[in-house]
Amino acid sequence: MTMPSLINVDLRNDPAAALFRTRQVVLTVRFAKSDGVVQTLEGPVRYQAGDALMTGPKGEHWPIARARFDATYVSTIEGHTAGTDGPFAKRVREVLARRWDAAFQVTIASGQSLSGRPGDWLVQYCPGDQAVVAADVFDVLYEPVLNR
């Protein structure tokens, strides 16, 4: 059996998707000095100088483009200078997510392909902007939106 490959997926149309909210978990961030590739739990992902290199609650790593990082994260230190390494927390926002029971691949906005294992989650921040999140990491970073 081949692994499903998801391209141009939109969880707004998926009855198996549910609404979740980001938790304000403090993460360690450093900013890339040069272009490179980081090995995420879901596969290698390219980044550019200036992008945020995240370290998650389980020690996992992933990059976030600088403009997206600036729009979605806030420093946890008052007076912290933008673009300098330190602790940051994600701004609380709602996302759609779906847990997959089988391994899968998804092509993300950058055109790169990520692989999910059984039990991993596909998170959609907005149409065309998705990420694969390992099951144990998802439970730390997201909570269900109830009574909506």
Q: How many domains does the chain have?
A: 2
* Helices and strands (H, E) in the chain, number of each type: 2, 15
Q: Does one domain contain both 33 and 83?
A: yes
Q: Does one domain contain both 65 and 75?
A: yes
pLDDT value of residue 57: 85
DSSP assignments along 39-72, one per residue? EETTEEEEE-TT-EEEE-TTS-EEEE-HHHHHHH
In angstroms, the CA 126 to CA 11 distance is 9
- pTM of the predicted protein model: 0.77
Q: Is the dihedral of CA 109, 93, 22, 85 positive or negative?
A: positive
pLDDT in tens, 62-100: 999 999 899 889 999 988 887 899 999 989 999 999 999
Q: Does one domain contain both 103 and 121?
A: yes
